[in-house]
Amino acid sequence: MACNLQTSFLPALKFPAEATLDKRRGNGLVVCSVASAADSIMTESTPTGSAAVVRSRPLSRREVETSERKMTDTTGKFGRFGGKFVPETLMTCLSKLEAEFNLVLHDPEFQEELATALRDYVGRETPLYFAQRLTDHYKNESGCGPEIYLKREDLNHGGAHKINNAIAQAMIAKRMGRKSIVAATGAGQHGVATAAACAKLSLKCTIVMGTLDMERQASNVLLMKLLGAEVKSVDGNFKDATSEAIREWVGNLETNYFLIGTAVGPHPCPSMVREFQSIIGKETRRQAMERWGRKPDVLVACVGSGSNALGLFHEFIADEDVRMIGVEAAGFGLESGKHSATLAKGEVGVYHGAMSYLLQDEEGQIVGPHSIGVGMEYPGVSPELSFLKERGRVESYSVTDQEAVDAYQLLCRLEGIFPALEASHALAFLDKLCPTLPDGAKVVVNCSGRGDKDAPTVFRLTQGSSPGDHKRHPVSP
């Protein structure tokens, strides 16, 4: 039996009881199934004989609620995912952070101050916009098709959903008496949001960004500098920036606060980020009720690391009749090796302090991800999303760079909205989704950011074409 579970387990850790190993090695077919619930194991016929495999079955309501409770326990585990795989030096810091997080969750004064900031500074609540022309585009010959609504996170201050979390955490940092914030950013949206929040709250701000990303999202770098942040460059991209930022944080734990931008990292980071982003879903529920008197039927969001997706989904996890679709970046195609489709092609491992799906090679080394959507380029993914995917609560698909660029141009032309290339991945999936949906199904797509930052990229890609030609522009490797 070969265990192909790549981890960097600490010696004291116990192997989680719910883990399943279904890797096949060599000529023999050995499948080891270890599950906590006996009825999760089914016998299935396969080409080489029968095998016992674990299949995810739909979660019952009780199981979901139990899982929810488990999620907020102090080990920070989502099933077998999550946790706190960090050096000892960080354990105390993380515990303090978790304690503060629990305090603010129940502190009415903090909640009111946050609500005011979200309303007056960030510009919430964001509209749930009925995209008439996009809806018409997806109607079939008989005029039937789903209704597409866009949750307009692009209208937030800073231009993306990132600020929901950045402003809340900056407020926590201030509460804790920290003087300076350090953060890592990929596309730059989290960097801009953090720099803005720090300016407003009078905190020193250092943003770490990979040189590759700085080139591709140069306008965001300028914005950060104008907002008073110091921008530190490291070779590589977001994953390298994150590692450097953590190093910077560990070097100065008393005065520094590491402001994580997405739902990854050691506990309590994934829970914190998800909690602060969950306002997206909460507003959506209320707006859906006002608009059409019930819940959405399908939720669609792009998945880089998972913060905007979890922000939309979390509110509806216990509503089994609401489908949740995460769309990852297939880059040049899943078989090309140049993509960021972690949930599709990754294997379980530990990265940046948490156990989750991860793009890794045979030796457990991180595989460099690729996507035209810079914010999608992360080899890992939120542990909570890994859990929800494995349990079958969230469906996961992927779209290529070309499909994303096409969707970008389509939304510009039909609705006059520039979506971020990241959000364009979610929009691109509508091509495959809509023909399968019943007439009048209510689809909510998280328009997680605006695409002004991506216009130069799309511009460069299309420079070979004649002026005014806004047809399909090929994206070449």
Partner 1 sequence: MAASAKTPISRTQTTSLYKPYSSSLQLPFKFLKVTPNSCAAKALSICCALQMEPKVGPGSQVPDSFGRFGKFGGKYVPETLMHALTELESAFRALSGDVEFQKELDGILKDYVGRETPLYFAERLSEHYKRPNGEGPLIYLKREDLNHTGAHKINNAVAQALLAKRLGKTRIIAETGAGQHGVATATVCARFGLQCIVYMGAQDMERQALNVFRMRLLGAEVRAVHSGTATLKDATSEAIRDWVTNVETTHYILGSVAGPHPYPMMVRDFHAVIGKETRKQAMEKWGGKPDVLVACVGGGSNAMGLFYEFVDDEDVRLIGVEAAGFGLDSGKHAATLTKGEVGVLHGAMSYLLQDDDGQIIEPHSISAGLDYPGVGPEHSFLKDLGRAEYHSITDEEALEAFKRLSRLEGIIPALETSHALAYLEKLCPTLPNGAKVVLNCSGRGDKDVHTAIKHLKV
Residue whose structure tokens are 């109607």: 139
Tokens linked to 325: 């679709």
Q: Exactly one of 16, 228, 236, 368 binds partner 1 (CB under 8 A); which one? A: 228
CB of 194: closest distance to partner 1 in angstroms?
Answer: 10
Residue whose structure tokens are 């991945």: 425
Say whether residue 459 binds partner 1 (CB under 8 A): yes
Q: Exactly one of 92, 219, 252, 336 binds partner 1 (CB under 8 A); which one? A: 219
Q: Looking at the chain, how many residues does it have?
A: 477
Please count the residues of this chain forming the interface with partner 1, following the rule CB under 8 A. 45
Q: Please tell me the distance from the alpha carbon of residue 78 to that of residue 84, in angstroms, as a whole number.
A: 12
Q: Which is nearer to partner 1, 439 or 452 (CB)?
A: 452
Q: Which is nearer to partner 1, 67 or 446 (CB)?
A: 446
Say whether residue 413 binds partner 1 (CB under 8 A): yes
Q: Exactly one of 409, 424, 448, 457 binds partner 1 (CB under 8 A); which one? A: 409
Cβ-count burial of 249 within 10 angstroms (0-12 exposed, 13-18 middle, 19+ buried)? Answer: buried
Tokens linked to 142: 């008989």
Q: Please tell me the distance from the alpha carbon of residue 259 to that of residue 320, in angstroms, as a whole number.
A: 33
Say whether residue 399 binds partner 1 (CB under 8 A): no
Q: Exactly one of 226, 252, 320, 361 binds partner 1 (CB under 8 A); which one? A: 226
Say whether residue 412 binds partner 1 (CB under 8 A): yes
Residues numbered 92 to 151 that lie near partner 1 (CB under 8 A) are: 119-121, 123, 126-130, 133
The number of CA neighbours under 13 Å toward the Cβ of 130 is 12
**Nearest 5 degrees, angle CA 21-CA 35-CA 386?**
65
- Residue 301 has a CB neighbour count (10 Å cut-off) of 31
Q: Please tell me the distance from the alpha carbon of residue 182 to that of residue 46, in angstroms, as a whole number.
A: 51
Q: Which is nearer to partner 1, 97 or 231 (CB)?
A: 231
Q: Exactly one of 57, 470, 472, 474 binds partner 1 (CB under 8 A); which one? A: 470
Residues numbered 142 to 201 that lie near partner 1 (CB under 8 A) are: 152, 155-157, 159, 195-200
From edge to edge, which strands make up the β-sheet containing 230-234?
A: 230-234, 204-210, 180-185, 256-258
Residues that bind partner 1 (CB under 8 A): 119-121, 123, 126-130, 133, 152, 155-157, 159, 195-200, 202, 219, 222-223, 225-228, 409, 412-418, 452, 455-456, 458-459, 467-468, 470
